Structure 1
Amino acid sequence: MPTATQPSPAPADTPAPGGRRAGHPSRRIPGPDWLWATLLTLAVGVVKIGSAQPWRDELASWYAASRSTGELIDMLGHVDAVSGLYYLLLHGWISLFGDSEAALRLPSALAMAGAAAFAVLTARKLFDRRTAVFTGLLFAFLPSVSRYAQEARSYAFAVLAVTAATWLLLRALERPTPRRWAPYGLAVALAGLFHMVSLLFLLPHALIVLLRWRRDRRGRTLAGYAVTVAVALLPVVPLVLLGRQQVGRQIGWLKAPHLRSLADLWNGLFGSPLVALAVAAVALLPLAWSRGRRPAGELVLIGAVPVAAAWVVSQGSTSYFIDRYLLFTMPAWVVLAAAGLAALRPRQAGVAGLAALILLGVPDQRQMRTTGGRVGADGQAAADVIAKGYRPGDGFVPVRGEDRVYMIDLQVEYFLPPRVRLRDVFAERSAVAADDLFPVECPQPAQCLGTTARVWVVTWGGTQDPYNKLPEAQAEALRSHYKVVESKKVRGLRVSLLERTK
């Protein structure tokens, strides 16, 4: 029966006295493992990267990043300031490479590939080369890695920054000099600027520093860490203050988590319930090694402490407890799982376990790359119906009101060809003019109809009612002045053409 055993020889990267590793200087990048892991993660991440239709958060990224720099900065003063750095990065990217689904998502794929490199380097530094190889393979084929490598949001960048910070911290603790603390500070700052919740990783990092200090009693370690973090947080503080003012708009819909929410979060971190269960089964095996107990314990802190802290904080007025906000903890669990698999004896058992774990995620990998893998509404099909029957001067009425957060308007507008220019009939002020992601709608809808001869109405499907879920005042204004001449159902939506009667 396969068992987890302590390897008899010391790993090549076991710290030697004086802060150097046996056989080579600690500053040397050990082997090409990080490089092939980066390339493999990128290769898997770009497979069918443009297949799935963008969901509402990605559409928000596109809509914000498509504005001029001035318009974007004005918007960030009112909403989504915490995503500002990512939007600015995406804005520059779009100006160079366009805004197709693949182009929007490629920066995230590159960021996740970079995170793979640092996960492998961390595995090599804490364990051995076999663990590093297993880490690279497991990371590349994890469903959640592909999912967020193909997401036009900042989560992959937060994963990259935190994973880099972890490796840089371990490196700085070997030789706590300003030259080693400086890149760690940069990673801390970037993590906070890309996603504020990711700064929870500073809690386990501080614990690791204290534990290492208790062992070696090097005073400059504590001082160097404290000064580095303080300086790194300076550019993040204004963002935190502004973000607090906008938090109700951003995540007011999140509810306080229950204990059962931990299981949902765990599944979300790996993108597959089966993969999550398998990772849980092997991630704690390294704690059984006498030699592996310390590095495994440090990784458990990095993976578990932010989750516990987020759960506690989310019992208050604002919840932050959702898998994608805590995705930055995933690489620590991947390294732990890889270490557990690498320790199995005979060695073939570890290889078989790794292969089985990868295969468990294949169905989820396929599903996320389908056209409707992320959204239940087919915005492209709705846009095709409108484009086919479009006439210059046509109006547009998407379902908004209480359902505006689903961004049905953007799901359609993203796929409309440039020649189709619809007038948003019930928008008193456009979203750009309002420095927002949503337009300001007319308080008196009937007065905003103007002389528009034809209107395309896009509402939720599921019923024959062309006004399903429209605010009652808007529906009544349309009923009073228009008749339905065409109505088609597409997946999740109904597209209706109305012509004016009076």
Structure 2
Amino acid sequence: MRPAVHPVGRLLGQVWVWPALVMLAVGGYRLGTPDLWRDEIATWTVATRSPGDLFRLLQHIDASNGAYYVLMHGWTAVFGDSTIALRTPSVLAMAGAAALVSLTAQRLFGNRVAAVGAGLLLAVPSEISRYAQEARSYALVTCAIAAASLFLLRALDRPSWRRWAPYCLAMALGGAGHLISFSTVAGQVALVALHLWRTRSAVEWRLLWQYPLAVVVAALPVLPVVLLGSRQSDRQLGWIPTPSPEDLTYFGEVLFGSEDVFHAFLPLALLALLLPGRRIQAWQLLLLAVLPVVAVWLVSWSGETSYFLGRYLLFTVPAWAALAGGGAGAVYGAVTGLARRLGRAPRGAAAVAGLLAAGLLAVPAVKALPEQQSVRYVGSHNRSVEPFKAAAREITAGYRAGDGMAAPLGVQAWAMAWPGVSYYLPSDVRPYPVFVARSAEDAEDLSPAPCPQPEACLGEVSRIWLIVLGDTEDPLGTMPPDQAQVLRTRYGVPDRVTPLGGLTLALLDRDV
């Protein structure tokens, strides 16, 4: 009779546990080091509003992120709005995605090496780490679509509504988190088709109506987001360029954050596709990884609005990780199988095969180390340099009660300078809002509304902290002319000008 295994031992023996723990460690490492960038500032400024203000804003902008903002509203109410608190849900979600990838690989390849390797490989690409450390919806969407893939496989094995229900829920969560994630249906259709071809069972043909119906059920809760988001698409997505064929060719490097890392994944994927064993399952994963990207590219290339952006398609990386893990598992199976045929010692063959598989898995991890480091410095989340914290530090050091602050609004509100600097200001440093007609909450927008007549919104402050975009020695020269003229008349030239590397901070004092 075998001795009873301690519950902790049983837990640690599960294929998903170590990948989840590794992803937690990778995602949590220096979690609070990179400054919040403008998209994360948007999360903060929306999530910390009252429910009424939040839902009123979604009528005008960012409806596609509405479900995530509602989630973060509840989260910040409990855990606060520090940088670490804002990013922790993403770390947890990506750890969940790693666990789900392991379970998916185990189900497809029936191999512990493939399962554990797949989950560990998800932690390798720097883009996964970066968005595991970002207060945006991409990690939660990646987790939801990874869950949908696993639940789809379970439903295909034994179709029943008890198995379709989790799939519908996961797809609805993914679609509500980011509409583009529904493009995964393009890969799922191919996966279902290959399943039908492999099984060739008359019973399985009921999938021809069950799967489409499940997709429709999953899409129903997302329809309000679709309707609101379609009206906001020009403002939200107008900056994304129409992709070229070359963009599609090199998109793997964008997804993985590095040409070297993507090319290190490819040999493992090819091994899964070519070595005997579970090749159809490997092709299912390949199509699940590739077809959503192709579908979004086609829509973006041929339509008026482009959706072709790396972070929008991050949810396809788990399929790549599962496929690459399958390659390591296929090598392990091929070596141990050959050893059995040659009559070699099973334990020795397993050890050699394990070392070989571990070596193959280590190659992408080594290739990714430089990029993993690069996503953890102070400004690494900024696509353009946005030194909000530096500006707030300068203002705090020289602040006097009654000071005012002016920051880019109107056509320059995309930079999120006003809420970005405000986030880093201490609670007792609250400058008077110069040139502001309505607060962001009253304007039902991400940033305050600018005053149409600057002089009427100047206030009676004796000093103004002026923030402008870019590094310049003439901050008034970069402002809207009507605002600049008011400041020149009332305050003259700035008393102090400090370029901060992306923003310039100036102090205007009419008493000097």
- State the TM-score, normalizing by the size of structure 2: 0.89
Separation in structure 2 between the aligned mates of residue 421 and residue 190 of structure 1, nearest angstrom: 38
1:418-497 paired onto structure 2 within 5 Å: 418-467=427-476, 469-483=478-492, 484-497=494-507
> Which residue of 132, 138, 145 corresponds with 1:162?
145
Residues 113 and 328 of structure 2 are in contact (CA less than 8 Å); yes or no, is this contact kept in structure 1? no
Amino acid at match of 2:308: F
> Which residue of 390, 397, 402 corresponds with 1:393?
402
Q: Which moved more, 1:237-246 or 1:34-43?
A: 34-43
> Which residue of 239, 254, 262 corresponds with 2:248?
262
> Which residue of 155, 162, 171 corresponds with 1:172?
155
Amino acid at match of 1:197: I
* Corresponding residue SS for 1:438: coil
Amino acid at match of 1:217: A
State the Cα RMSD in Å: 1.9
Report the equivalent of 2:230. Answer: 244
* Corresponding residue SS for 2:321: helix
Separation in structure 2 between the aligned mates of residue 357 and residue 178 of structure 1, nearest angstrom: 39
> Which residue of 116, 141, 145 corresponds with 2:124?
141
Q: Residue 325 and residue 468 in structure 1: after superposition, are their counterparts in 2 closer, same or farther (change >3 A)? A: farther
What residue ranges of structure 1 are gaps of 5+ in the alignment?
1-28
Report the equivalent of 1:16. Answer: none
Deviation (angstroms), 1:468: 5.2
Amino acid at match of 2:61: V
Deviation (angstroms), 1:234: 1.1
Amino acid at match of 2:136: R
Deviation (angstroms), 1:260: 1.9
Amino acid at match of 1:328: F
* Corresponding residue SS for 2:221: coil
Report the equivalent of 1:101. Answer: 83
Say whether residues 1:362 and 2:347 are aligned partners.
no
Say whether residues 1:208 and 2:191 are aligned partners.
yes
> Which residue of 20, 24, 28 corresponds with 1:46?
28
- State the TM-score, normalizing by the size of structure 1: 0.90
Q: Residue 305 and residue 178 in structure 1: after superposition, are their counterparts in 2 closer, same or farther (change >3 A)? A: same
Say whether residues 1:374 and 2:361 are aligned partners.
no
Deviation (angstroms), 1:461: 4.2
Residues 265 and 322 of structure 1 are in contact (CA less than 8 Å); yes or no, is this contact kept in structure 2? no
Q: Return structure 1 stretches of 4+ with deviation > 6 angstroms.
A: none
> Which residue of 190, 203, 206 corresponds with 1:220?
206
Say whether residues 1:60 and 2:42 are aligned partners.
yes
Deviation (angstroms), 1:460: 3.1
Report the equivalent of 2:15. Answer: 33
Separation in structure 2 between the aligned mates of residue 273 and residue 118 of structure 1, nearest angstrom: 26
* Corresponding residue SS for 1:413: helix
Separation in structure 1 between the aligned mates of residue 429 and residue 471 of structure 2, nearest angstrom: 27
Cα deviations across residues 100-153 of structure 1 (Å, max 9, x unaligned)?
111100000001111111100111111121111211221123322211110100
Residues 485 and 497 of structure 1 are in contact (CA less than 8 Å); yes or no, is this contact kept in structure 2? yes
Separation in structure 1 between the aligned mates of residue 186 and residue 503 of structure 2, nearest angstrom: 45
Amino acid at match of 1:238: P
Cα deviations across residues 206-257 of structure 1 (Å, max 9, x unaligned)?
2322332342232332232222222221111121111101111111111110
* Corresponding residue SS for 1:181: helix
Amino acid at match of 2:506: S
Say whether residues 1:335 and 2:317 are aligned partners.
no
Please identify which structure carries the higher helix content: 2
Say whether residues 1:407 and 2:430 are aligned partners.
no
Residues 380 and 412 of structure 1 are in contact (CA less than 8 Å); yes or no, is this contact kept in structure 2? yes
Q: Which moved more, 1:377-386 or 1:483-492?
A: 483-492
Amino acid at match of 1:70: G
Residues 162 and 198 of structure 1 are in contact (CA less than 8 Å); yes or no, is this contact kept in structure 2? yes
Residues 134 and 354 of structure 1 are in contact (CA less than 8 Å); yes or no, is this contact kept in structure 2? yes
Say whether residues 1:317 and 2:304 are aligned partners.
yes
Report the equivalent of 2:8. Answer: none
Amino acid at match of 1:138: L
Deviation (angstroms), 1:356: 2.1
Identity fraction in percent: 45
Separation in structure 1 between the aligned mates of residue 24 and residue 386 of structure 2, nearest angstrom: 29
* Corresponding residue SS for 1:467: helix
Residues 194 and 280 of structure 2 are in contact (CA less than 8 Å); yes or no, is this contact kept in structure 1? no
Deviation (angstroms), 1:406: 1.5
Separation in structure 2 between the aligned mates of residue 229 and residue 411 of structure 1, nearest angstrom: 39
Q: Residue 154 and residue 351 in structure 1: after superposition, are their counterparts in 2 closer, same or farther (change >3 A)? A: same
Deviation (angstroms), 1:263: 4.7
Deviation (angstroms), 1:407: 1.2
Separation in structure 1 between the aligned mates of residue 223 and residue 495 of structure 2, nearest angstrom: 55
Amino acid at match of 2:24: L
Separation in structure 1 between the aligned mates of residue 501 and residue 151 of structure 2, nearest angstrom: 47
Amino acid at match of 1:301: L
Report the equivalent of 1:15. Answer: none
Q: Which moved more, 1:75-84 or 1:404-413?
A: 404-413
> Which residue of 251, 258, 275 corresponds with 1:289?
275
Q: Residue 231 and residue 461 in structure 1: after superposition, are their counterparts in 2 closer, same or farther (change >3 A)? A: closer
Cα deviations across residues 255-307 of structure 1 (Å, max 9, x unaligned)?
11012212553222112232122123432322213432201111111111100
Say whether residues 1:70 and 2:77 are aligned partners.
no
Amino acid at match of 2:508: L
Report the equivalent of 2:343. Answer: none
Report the equivalent of 2:358. Answer: 351
Amino acid at match of 1:77: Q
